[in-house]
Structure 1
Amino acid sequence: MSENTTEAIVGACVLAAAAGFLWYASGVTDAGGGGGNNYPLIASFRSAEGISVGTDVRLAGVKIGSVRELDLNAQTFRAEATFGIAEGIELPEDSSAAISSEGLLGGNFIEIIPGGSPFNLEAGGEIVDTQGAISLIGLLTKFVSGAGE
């Protein structure tokens, strides 16, 4: 009987730990739907390599949103990213967006560089000034091919 009680207690602890991990993961990734107080913006990139739905959107290194959708525009052949920005953060209409990397082994994120316009982007507005992802392999290839000259 004591063996069954011990197994039940250990099982309950394992389930409690699993529930704790799920709660933590949903809070960190915004998977729990807690990011409902945000407004959408759109940006069109030549190359969206390294970003996907759920990728962070940061301003001055602070996460202010995440990518909601990533689609290909069939007319312009550019990647269009729709992302949600936290309510209360107003971006000037001449702000720019760039796909940046956290380092050689880190992931990519969308970095917002605020402009100086007195007018702010409205919900559903588009950030026109964008810089796509820079391919590390392409840079290394250029360096190696240019090193022999």
Structure 2
Amino acid sequence: MSSSASEARAELIAGGIVLAVALSFLGWAASGRIIPGRGYEVRASFPDVDGVTVGTEVRLAGVPVGRVSAITLNRQTYMADAVLRLPQDVLLPSDSAAIIQSDGLLGGAYIQIQPGGSMDNLAPGDEIEDVQGAVSLFQLMMKFVDSQAGEATP
């Protein structure tokens, strides 16, 4: 076997492996709960969605159960309207809360759902009214610095 034939065979094998890995990533990305068309959507209007983008996880009890499928600016209220896609088998009480949480100091953000106690559930297209926007770490540090500076002056 010539060296060019063995090189061509090695390139063919390497190309096959790359293609298999790419297809597995594609299958993983389209699997489970993020396939468009599955589940239902609810809305939530936040005063600030810093760190949240389309595709951000929606968690219930710390478990990923959905994704943010759209974010738009509501020009009447100047709030950020987020659309949350949830699986059909996750039924949320109508008085549930949506809170933007940080995944750590350097991590991203996610939306945490805190279920309420209502006997009625949110229907597709309903709005989660109890929301809490993103808390900026920078703003918190500035408040702390301002409060320390205020205590230092007699």
Q: Distance in 2 between matches of 1:13 and 1:143?
A: 58
The number of residue pairs the alignment matches comes to 149
**CA deviation profile, 1:45-69 (whole Å, cap 9, x unmatched):** 0001101111111101111110111
2:70 — aligned with what?
A: 69
Give aligned-pair identity as a percent.
42
Q: Distance in 2 between matches of 1:60 and 1:26?
A: 28
Question: Does the Cα contact within 8 Å between 1:95 and 1:113 map onto a contact in 2?
Answer: yes
TM-score between both structures, scaled by the size of structure 2: 0.87
**CA deviation profile, 1:70-89 (whole Å, cap 9, x unmatched):** 00000000000012101111
Paired AA for residue 23 in structure 1: L
> How big is the shift at 1:146?
1.2
- 2:125 alignment partner, SS class: coil
* CA RMSD in angstroms, aligned pairs only: 2.0
Paired AA for residue 85 in structure 1: L
Pick the structure with greater CA Rg. Answer: 2
Paired AA for residue 15 in structure 2: L
1:5 — aligned with what?
A: 5
Check if 1:78 corresponds to 2:76: no
Check if 1:106 corresponds to 2:102: no
Paired AA for residue 116 in structure 1: G
For structure 1, the 5+ residue unaligned runs are none
For structure 2, the 5+ residue unaligned runs are none
Alignment of 1:130-149 (within 5 A): 130-148=131-149, 149=151
**CA deviation profile, 1:82-132 (whole Å, cap 9, x unmatched):** 121011110000000011011101110111000000000001110000000
